[in-house]
Structure 1
Amino acid sequence: MTRPETTTAKTMPLLTLTAMVVGSMVGAGVFSLPRNFGQATGGLGALIAWAIAGTGMLMLAFVFQNLAVRKPELDAGVYAYAKAGFGDYLGFISAFGYWASACVGNVSYWVLIKSTLGQVLPIFGAGNTVPAVLLSTVFVWAFHFMVLRGVQEAAAINKIVTIAKVVPILFFIIVLLFYFDPGVFADNFWGGDAYSESLFTQVRSTMLVTVFVFLGIEGASVYSRYARKREDIGRATILGFLSVLAIFASVTMVSFGIIPRAELAGLQQPSMSPVFESAVGPWGAWFISIGLIVSVLGAYLAWTLMAAEVLFVAAGDDDMPRFLARVNARTVPVVAVTFTTVLIQLVLLITLFSDDAFTFTLKLCSALSLVPYLLAAAYALKLGATRETYAEIRPRDRVRELVIAGIATFYTAFMIVVAGPEFLLLSCIIYAPGTILFLVSRREQGKKFFTPWEAILFGITIVGAVIGIAGLATGLISI
């Protein structure tokens, strides 16, 4: 079976692709930064954390840029690179993990919206009450039917929403510069009572948060088949990344100049809201809350599109069952979109049993995304080591790109270690049953299920899932 052909023209220009990247990254995470950083560290630790995250993610952005040039035939970047470099099963794991990460991340958006509404309507609580889940369900399916109207239409909406949600965040930064208190910032610089912990520990505590806010950096790569110009994919990735890095770091640092660190650590999420309110008054909370809802809805749309796109392309490449490649009259992968919506619904129901639904979904989303990122970076490293494509395309760039890929690979592997074993085990609980889709696909093609080393990897995944389930049952792992 060959990849399904669509009638969609390559019409996404650089601006639209960049908006997809920015729209994917600027979502729920930015509105939670003041509290998340306040709980972990002070100004110095925040600067170091953003320097590390910025460097690591910039290298990853360069990896996607370089791979777009060296492997132009590979669409849906994250998934395609893993398969090309490391075989069918790891390609499936990358596609399935990326898809699951997007779905879990989308749930975090609904949790944060309802938590925001819970500040004025107590029935929504922290975003995981029964009324909150019921209202979220209504909107989940409303977005589902909107996406079915067409990818190009949804992408155009995303570009408009991206502009609408970035404006209030920039307004937050600019206004707080006028209220910035150097004395408060100086007191917060060393972390206050967080300074009792080592600086390394403080910085490490922020790492999963920085991963979460940068998720979506591959947005242009995922939509490579729609790009008007191939080189626009890499340009959109870099432009989008640098834009959001400046925004995220600015939100964090200006907040340290408004409220003492101990107070930042105790704020209710979304913490940007009370920070702005403390400076400008009650209207500030409403302003940020409205901006959050617009921002999160836009990010939800972008992530739903990207998640479905990965399932669709994987099915076209025979790495998912063929029914996931079906499209409707508007060339939208209708079955893939439906699968995405169903998983979002299931995770929404799970949040009813979570003590801190937002933090749980944030960290699980980050952990699931790191494996696809690691495999993409490792593939770029493999290309450099084996010299594949370097005889034909920019041979002088090999050493530079090899260093970039090496840093990106180390960074993503380090982030997996920082995430901790509990989230790897929870990821195994998702990967193990998901492998059924891989087996169905292999059976459709009459192929052997696993190579010997893939069978070992699957066995390890099963063991991890069993340990994870046992940890949940005994309370050693909590959600």
Structure 2
Amino acid sequence: MKNKTSQLSLFGFFTLTASMLMSADEYPAFAQSGLLAVLYLILAGVFWFLPVALCSAEMATIEGNKEGGVFTWVKKSLGTRWGFLAVFFQWLQITVNFITMIYFIIGSLAYVLNFPALNSNLLFKWVAFLIIYWTMTFLQLGGVKKTDRLVTISFVVGIILPSIILLIMGILYMIQTGSVRFNVNLTDNFHVLKTNFSIGTIVPYILAFTGIEASASYINDLDHPNRNYPLCMLVLVVFAILVDSLGGLSVAAVVPLGHLTLNQGVIQAVAQMFQVTLPTMQWGVRIIGLLMAFGMIGEISSWIIGPVKSLFVTAEDDILPHYFMRVNHDDVPVRLIIVQGVVVTLISGFLTVILGGNNDAYQMAMALTVMLYIVTYILIFIAYLHETNSSAKRGFRIPGGKLMRFVVAFLGLVSSIAVLGSTFIPTATIKSIKPALYTTLMISFFLVIIGLTELLYEFGIRHQKQRHYNFTIRHRHSNEINKVILPQGRNEHILKHIERDIDQEEEKLVRDVKKG
């Protein structure tokens, strides 16, 4: 029986996931589609997000699945190899996601400092990228407790506040000018949809909905989950569609598509809005740009350690090389954090210096992120379909019976496979990278990552087992979550340095003896 004090109400559970609604850095990508962005958000929400949310929730409540997260869900159904692939790709996507996040910071700072070269000069941009990323990384090596307050403050003043200002200013702009920069004619939009639509267009919208599996694992704390969880997800998807639509359309309303820069689109929109509605307060744009940069820096600092810790659930199978499965006295997996940094450095260097760090590189980074993450979701759906015939006890079932459960999972699986395939094909908005080169690069990257994952797994299972580690691990409780962190960047597991705890116990024993 669940402890009543640990149970979450419908609203309490909603707040665990509501932070994913605030994604201002993705608004320029939505703005590229104009009015059609609303339709794409609906498609992504209904045909992909809801199946992911419902299947993840049921997987999380199956007996024996409550502590391990994605690795355990997939491992128990499909085997250890596939469980490792799922959690490895879940972690790896964040290394690419950092690139778009830091590009956003660089774009804001370039405007605030009136230093366009920071965003246009390839070497300057990559150096700035490395300074921001590695500074945040080294600050995190002393433990996340030191930056928890920073994350909370930065979320409020750097993400929520600028998003609200953007929406309000957008409304004022449209009232004052009576016009928008995107085509509002439904017939014209339908023609564009009919002639130019591709699954790849959905990629930014899928990215906006990722991470729900991290919150789904806390359904075990939800009061009346069979009623409240589906209701919560329906409310969430409606709010997400509403907020993201308004954000994307606010940018599209004031910035012509030909002038839209994906990592500066929000600040471009705010600047135009101020110029039209509050020209005497144009200085306020720089403050908002500074706040947005601060908000994203706080978000990045919270993402650096959390996803890495998810890899430590593989310790029971001794898959990753033992050298990397260590934590320091601040409970930080330093060696894996450095590996993560090297991966981020290499990929960012390729996208920034080789591919130009422009809109096309930004879109390729989004496609790479989705490509990696969608593999995890495909494995979740396959594992779920495998579990539909299982007699294992579970605390939540998708409503509607066995047929409905199959339909939901099959819909999610098919849409995920379609999105994965689309990431290898450039959209019409990518201009500077030839289609053949784009596809070759994406396929090569995918094959290299698959190969690396297989090599790691084979090395792990063939290597002599060394099950002595200097940490303990457990799944986080719902009341320990920092709710302002987006779900895909959360720390789902808590690592504790064993030797430190032993030292503390010994010190306590010595003090007690002296007192006695």
In the superposition, the TM-score normalised over structure 1's length comes to 0.76
In structure 1, stretches of 5+ residues that fail to align are 1-10, 447-479
Q: Tell me the equivalent position of 1:140.
A: 133
Q: Which residue identity does 2:271 align to in structure 1?
A: E
Q: Is the 2:118–2:128 contact (alpha carbons within 8 Å) kept by the matching residues of 1?
A: no
Do residues 420 (structure 1) and 424 (structure 2) align?
Answer: yes
Q: Is the 1:37–1:46 contact (alpha carbons within 8 Å) kept by the matching residues of 2?
A: yes
1:269-318 Cα deviation digits (max 9, x unpaired) = 32122222222223464254234313322332343233212222223443
Q: Which residue identity does 2:179 align to in structure 1?
A: V
Which structure is higher in helix share?
1
Q: Tell me the equivalent position of 1:451.
A: none
Do residues 188 (structure 1) and 190 (structure 2) align?
Answer: no
Distance in 2 (alpha carbons) for counterparts of 1:354 and 1:255? 25
Do residues 211 (structure 1) and 206 (structure 2) align?
Answer: yes
Q: Tell me the equivalent position of 2:196.
A: 201
Q: Is the 1:20–1:159 contact (alpha carbons within 8 Å) kept by the matching residues of 2?
A: no
In the superposition, the TM-score normalised over structure 2's length comes to 0.71
Q: Which moved more, 1:48-57 or 1:396-405?
A: 396-405
Q: Is the 2:378–2:413 contact (alpha carbons within 8 Å) kept by the matching residues of 1?
A: yes
- Secondary structure at the aligned position of 1:319 is classed as coil
Map 1:175-324 → 2, pairs under 5 A: 175-180=169-174, 184=179, 188-190=183-185, 197-199=192-194, 201-202=196-197, 204-220=199-215, 230-231=221-222, 238=233, 243-256=239-252, 258-259=253-254, 263-269=256-262, 270-281=264-275, 282-283=282-283, 285-324=285-324
**1:210: Cα distance to partner?**
0.9
Q: Which residue identity does 1:110 align to in structure 2?
A: I
Distance in 1 (alpha carbons) for counterparts of 2:187 and 2:259? 14
Q: Tell me the equivalent position of 2:115.
A: 121
**1:86: Cα distance to partner?**
2.0
- Secondary structure at the aligned position of 1:118 is classed as helix
Q: Is the 1:320–1:437 contact (alpha carbons within 8 Å) kept by the matching residues of 2?
A: yes
1:185-232 Cα deviation digits (max 9, x unpaired) = 5961248987664437336453111122233333335xx5xx696438
- Alignment partner for residue 41 of structure 2, among 50, 70, 77? 50
Identity over aligned residues, as a percent? 19
Count of matched residue positions in the alignment of Structure 1 and Structure 2? 424
Do residues 408 (structure 1) and 412 (structure 2) align?
Answer: yes
Q: Is the 2:65–2:73 contact (alpha carbons within 8 Å) kept by the matching residues of 1?
A: no
Do residues 371 (structure 1) and 375 (structure 2) align?
Answer: yes
Q: Which moved more, 1:52-61 or 1:402-411?
A: 402-411
Distance in 2 (alpha carbons) for counterparts of 1:162 and 1:322? 36
Distance in 2 (alpha carbons) for counterparts of 1:139 and 1:24? 23
- Alignment partner for residue 70 of structure 2, among 75, 78, 83? 78
Map 1:152-191 → 2, pairs under 5 A: 154=147, 157-164=150-157, 165-180=159-174, 184=179, 188-190=183-185
In structure 2, stretches of 5+ residues that fail to align are 1-5, 276-281, 426-438, 466-516
Larger CA Rg, structure 1 vs 2: 2
Q: Tell me the equivalent position of 1:100.
A: 92
Q: Tell me the equivalent position of 2:58.
A: 66
Q: 1:205 to 1:151 in 2, by over 3 A?
A: same
Distance in 1 (alpha carbons) for counterparts of 2:103 and 2:455? 29
Q: 1:441 to 1:67 in 2, by over 3 A?
A: same
Distance in 2 (alpha carbons) for counterparts of 1:80 and 1:391? 15
Q: 1:387 to 1:396 in 2, by over 3 A?
A: farther
1:45-88 Cα deviation digits (max 9, x unpaired) = 22210110111213212222222222553545333323222222
Q: Which moved more, 1:94-103 or 1:293-302?
A: 293-302
1:401-426 Cα deviation digits (max 9, x unpaired) = 44332322222122112223523442
